[in-house]
Amino acid sequence: METILLDTDRTLTTLLQVVSSFDEEELNKIPFSDSWTAGQVVQHLILANTGFIEVMQGPVKDADREPDQLVAQIRADFLNFDTKMKSPDFILPLPISYSKQRQLGTLENIKSSLINLIQTMELDKICLTFELPGYGFLTRIEAIYFVNYHSQRHTHQLNNIYQYLSEV
C-alpha cells in the first residue's frame, strides 16, 4: 500500500505543479491545430479521474485473478507517448475557457479523495460499475494505477503544450 500511496501522491502533485505553471490565458490558448487547450486536457483528467473515484466507491466483488494483473499493460499502453489515443465521448472536455483556480481546487479534491480511498478501502476488489474498453472490469489497484498512468500521460502532454506556448 505504501508504494501505491507514494505513486499517487507524486503523480498528482506533479500534475498540480504543471497546471500551476500556466497562467489563465495560456491555459485556454490552443497551442497548435488539432490540439486541446491545456484547460481542456485538465478538464478531461478531472472528468476521467472523478469517474474512476465513483467507480471505486461503487459495488465490488472478490477478485478471481491477481488484483494487479492489468497494471503492467495499462502502464505500457498509457506511458507509450508515441501512441495516439482517442477519448471516449463521455470524458471529452467542452471547448470553453476554464478557470485555473477552479481546476486546481478540483484536482486537489481528487488527490485527497484518492489518497483517502487508498488508505481506507480494500484495493484487491473488482469494481463492477464500469468496464474499461480493452481491459474489462478493473480492481481498485488497477483503477488507481489507471488514474496515475492516465494522469502521467496528460502531464507529459501539458508539459509539451507549456513548452510550445513559451516558445511562440
CA distance 128 to 138: 8
Q: Rounded to whole angstroms, what are the CA distances from 125 to 77, 109, 138, 143?
A: 23, 23, 8, 10
- Name which of 80-84, 103-107, 117-121 the model is least confident about: 80-84
Residue 1, pLDDT > 90, answer: no
* Cβ contacts of 147 within 8 Å, gap of 6 or more: 8, 48, 49, 52, 114
Do residues 124 and 5 touch, judged by C-beta distance below 8 A?
Answer: no
Which grid cell is 14?
506533479
pTM over 0.85: yes
CA distance 131 to 138: 7
Mind listing the pLDDT tens digit for each residue in 135-144? 999 999 999 9
Q: Among 22, 14, 19, 20, which residue's Cα sits nearest to residue 165?
A: 22
**pLDDT at position 34:** 87
Q: What is the mean pLDDT of residues 39-60?
A: 98
Percent of the chain topping pLDDT 70:
100
Residue range 2-167, CATH number: 1.20.120.450
**More confident of the two residues 32 and 79:** 79
60 band by pLDDT with thresholds 50, 70 and 90? very high
> What mean pLDDT value characterizes the chain?
96
Residue 146, pLDDT > 80, answer: yes
**pLDDT at position 143:** 98
Q: What is the mean pLDDT of residues 3-20?
A: 98
52 band by pLDDT with thresholds 50, 70 and 90? very high
CA distance 51 to 58: 11
168 band by pLDDT with thresholds 50, 70 and 90? confident
121 band by pLDDT with thresholds 50, 70 and 90? very high
CA distance 153 to 142: 16
